[in-house]
Amino acid sequence: MSVSDRLPDYPVNSDFVKKLKAALEGRDEARLKDLICADVRHVDAVIELANDDWMKDPSAQLPPGVLVGLWTLEYKRELTTPLCIAAAQGHTACVRHLLGRGADPDASPGGRGALHEACLGSHTACARLLLQHRADPDLLSAEGLAPLHLCRTAASLGCAQALLEHGASVQLEGGTSRDTPLHVAAQRGLDEHARLYLNRGARVDARNGRGETALSAACGAALRPDEHARCLRLCTLLLRHGAAADTRDEDERSPLHKACGHARPGLARLLLLHGADARALDYGGASPLARVLQTAACAPEGEPQLTVQELLNHGSPTVWPDAFPKVLKSCAAVPTVIEVLFNSYSQLRVSESWKDVIPEEVFQMHQAFYQSLFALAHTPRCLQHLCRCAIRKSFGRKCFSLVPLLPLPESLQNYLLLEPEGVLH
């Protein structure tokens, strides 16, 4: 008999489950403790917390999709045990009590065991108690995830340490994505978790089901701005442990492509300094520069012009001149990006028709810059700019390292490295 066919000891419509849900929703710890430690008939009782099987109720209003055959026939049914509930809530005393009464630490009628729940909730004390009572540190959930895969927050570091101390495998691939624990840490910018796994022998260039290494996963993660510094430390750590800076995933995207897609200049610079190829093309023919230009207008607070500078100063080809109007249209609201890119050409013919792709409100907001741009429609670039281009062409992809060595004032060095000034000359 499968789990979904099993009759629960406490069905979802029972008085016990109603009281249990009320205690959980009300965060009534005392009542919850009484229910799961004293009121259940046996410690491994199966409790049904949810069941939306509308097929069991003839009077149920069917979802409209059913009538056209588009609705899945699966339904949500949530089964659990007192031990899983206690571990998920971080109630150490309840976990100790239930284990003392002989609760099975690996029981998982709902697909996840108590150890999974403890790790998901970052409850280190509960995880240690379960492991001391011989919970399997590599127990797989119904989704194929081990407890280490559920150590997903900075607060779960203690859980990860306890798992490894009790023999958890740091190489285990999990779920349909086949992520290792190192991939999970990388996706969430957990530098201390990554350090722990690497020190325990995690393979730094192991690939998941999408062909990503941990470095690639970290660079592609959508993180909050306050998490960027931690992610930068994590990527530095991975590179120091031998991660290849230019590996490609199944779409031929490199870590640099992904860092540029999120307009993260510090990360792009780190990768470029470790040998990432600024000229690389993915399967769609997009370069790292194309990736940052595609997202520049969506992330102006990330100062995308800094990423564009890094790429151009490390030898990235610039945009084909005929495609410049498309860049102007997509990046008009971020004129510093337009300025940096425009200054990477020795001469680029400005057309009055370009005004048509710039929204009027954007033009007015950045009037000084756009007036300087269109003033060049009938005027060649100044001699200073032409000298800049000649020096940059001579230095090529080493601009970033050779320009600072020139015996020039810092302001001129910045000029050579395409530092924006707000107007064009």
Closest CA to 150 of 102, 126, 134: 126
pLDDT of residue 253 exceeding 70, the answer is: yes
Give the pLDDT band (50/70/90) at residue 212: very high
Mean pLDDT value of segment 11-39: 90
Mean pLDDT value of segment 124-146: 97
Could you give the CA distance from residue 274 to residue 291 in angstroms, rounded to a whole number? 20
Which tokens in the block code for residue 110?
């709902």
Could you give the CA distance from residue 354 to residue 342 in angstroms, rounded to a whole number? 13
Mean pLDDT value of segment 43-52: 87
DSSP character at residue 36: I
Give residue-wise pLDDT tens across range 88-113.
999 999 999 999 999 999 999 989 99
Mean pLDDT value of segment 239-257: 96
Judge whether 142 and 150 are in contact, CB under 8 Å: no
Task: Name the average pLDDT for the chain.
Answer: 91
Task: Tell me the percentage of the chain whose pLDDT exceeds 90.
Answer: 80
Give the pLDDT band (50/70/90) at residue 3: very low
For residue 297, CA distances in Å to 183, 291, 294, 306, 329 come to 29, 12, 8, 14, 10
Could you give the CA distance from residue 139 to residue 210 in angstroms, rounded to a whole number? 24
Long-range pairs, 202-206, Cβ under 8 A, ≥24: 202/170, 202/171, 203/171, 204/238, 204/241, 204/242, 204/243, 205/242, 205/243, 205/244, 205/247, 206/171, 206/180, 206/182
How many Cα atoms are found within 13 Å in the side-chain-facing hemisphere of 78?
9
What confidence score (pLDDT) does residue 68 get?
46
Mean pLDDT value of segment 374-389: 94
pLDDT of residue 421 exceeding 60, the answer is: yes
What confidence score (pLDDT) does residue 193 get?
98
| CATH fourth-level superfamily of 1-56+75-166+179-198 | Ankyrin repeat-containing domain (1.25.40.20)
Give the pLDDT band (50/70/90) at residue 298: confident
Q: Where are the domains of the chain?
A: 1-56+75-166+179-198, 255-425
The mean-pLDDT minimum among 61-70, 126-135, 181-190 falls in 61-70
Is the overall model pTM greater than 0.95, yes or no?
no
What confidence score (pLDDT) does residue 75 get?
53
